């Protein structure tokens, strides 16, 4: 069974440009999460999808970030326009459910560098 | 405010030795606590998940403990191997809320 995949693995853009990150969860997982790790800091929650609906987007830093999950399958996270402080590693995770024992499976992350 | 702290920040041990990593959490109302292993350049991988009623859980050479009274958890690694070199992240979750990650402990196992 394929795990969570993310594309691209690395992205280097200039300030003001737009970048779109993609996440393909494990097939059949309704729950999809986005997280971010800024250099030197801990991983932080961004948002949570249940199928195609945003369950919780309280972690999204500002309106330059837009996440979508069309059809409840893959998800995209767009940053427009990118700022220097957006640099970091963006992780996606998926889970079958949300109970206390449900395991989250993480993708390898996308390393975003904004110059 | 929900918070997770870990110590030490980094640790170097020799192959074959045991080690223990610490986690202090302030997560309320407490739902569960998890330990993840993150290899360089990869996403975190779950090692253990513990709820309030569980005070020990093992996964191979990894044993996690949970003390709900002191709000502390530890991860003990037995007979370390070179492949154990990674960051170990403690994650707490409160009911109805999202995961709170600790900063991680970077473990290096030397031959």
User: Average pLDDT over chain A, rounded to whole?
Assistant: 94
**Residue A32, φ and ψ in degrees, nearest 5:** -135, 135
User: Average pLDDT over chain B, rounded to whole?
Assistant: 95
Whether pLDDT at B4 is above 80: yes
Give me the mean pLDDT over the B68-93 stretch. 96
CA gap B9, B21 in Å, rounded: 9
Whether pLDDT at A97 is above 90: no
CB contact under 8 A, A58 and B93: no
CB contact under 8 A, A103 and B45: no
> Among all residues of chain A, which has the CA nearest to that of B100?
A44
Nearest to A108 among B4, B41, B102 (CB): B41
| Range with the poorest average pLDDT among A61-70, A94-103, B17-26 | A94-103
Print burial letters for B66-80: b (CB count within 10 Å at least 16), e (below 16).
bebeebebebebeeb
Whether pLDDT at B61 is above 90: yes
pLDDT of res. A70: 86
Whether pLDDT at B97 is above 90: no
Q: How many CB atoms lie within 10 A of CB B46?
A: 16
pLDDT of res. A1: 62
CA gap A96, A29 in Å, rounded: 4
User: What's the gap in Å between the CA of B44 and the closest CA on chain A?
Assistant: 6
Give the model confidence (pLDDT) of A3-27 as tens digits.
Answer: 999 999 999 999 999 999 999 999 9
Which tokens hold the place of A52? 């195609």
């Amino acid at each position: 069974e394929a795990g969570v995949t993310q594309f691209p693995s690395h992205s280097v853009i200039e300030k003001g440009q737009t970048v779109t990150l993609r996440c393909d969860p494990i097939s059949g997982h309704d729950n999809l999460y986005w997280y971010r790790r800024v250099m030197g800091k801990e991983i932080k929650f961004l948002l949570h999808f249940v199928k195609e609906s945003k369950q919780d987007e309280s972690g999204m830093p500002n309106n330059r970030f837009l996440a979508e999950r069309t059809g409840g399958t893959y998800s995209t996270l767009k940053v427009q326009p990118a700022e220097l402080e957006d640099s970091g590693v963006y992780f996606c995770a998926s889970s079958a459910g949300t109970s206390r024992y449900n395991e989250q499976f993480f993708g390898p992350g996308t390393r975003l560098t904004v110059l | 405010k929900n918070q997770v702290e870990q110590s030490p920040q980094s640790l170097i041990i020799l192959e074959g030795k045991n080690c223990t990593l610490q986690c202090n959490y302030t997560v309320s109302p407490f739902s569960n606590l998890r330990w993840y292993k993150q290899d360089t350049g990869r996403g975190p991988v779950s090692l253990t998940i513990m709820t309030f009623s569980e005070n020990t859980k093992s996964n191979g050479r990894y044993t996690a403990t949970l003390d709900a009274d002191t709000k502390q958890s530890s991860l003990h690694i037995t007979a370390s191997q070179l492949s154990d070199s990674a960051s170990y992240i403690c994650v707490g979750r409160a009911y109805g809320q999202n995961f709170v990650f600790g900063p991680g402990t970077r473990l290096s196992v030397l031959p």
